[in-house]
Amino acid sequence: MPTPNRETVERILAANDRAALIRGAIEDAWAKVKTHPDLVWFRRKTTRAALMWEYTVANAIAALAADKGVAVAPHHDTVSFVFDDTVLVRFKKANIELQSSNYPTMLALLFHDHKADDLFGLGELQRVEAAYVLNRFQNAIVWAGIVAREKRRSLWSFELARAAGAEVVELLPPAEPVAPAAERVIQPRATPEEKKSGEEGE
pTM over 0.85: no
How many residues does the structure list for the chain? 202
Could you list the pLDDT tens digit for every one of the 202 residues in the chain? 689 999 999 999 999 999 999 999 999 999 999 999 988 888 888 899 999 999 999 999 999 999 999 999 998 788 999 999 999 999 999 999 998 876 556 666 666 677 766 666 667 899 999 999 999 998 999 999 999 999 888 999 999 988 765 444 433 344 444 455 455 445 556 666 666 665 555 5
In degrees, rounded to 5, the angle at the alpha carbon of residue 168 between the alpha carbons of residues 63 and 93 is 55
φ and ψ of 164, to 5 deg = -60, 130
| Domain range summary for the chain, segments of one domain joined by + | 6-159
Interatomic CA distance for residues 104 and 110, integer angstroms: 10
User: Running DSSP on this structure, what letter comes out for residue 192?
Assistant: H
Whether the Cβ atoms of residue 106 and residue 93 lie closer than 8 Å to each other: no
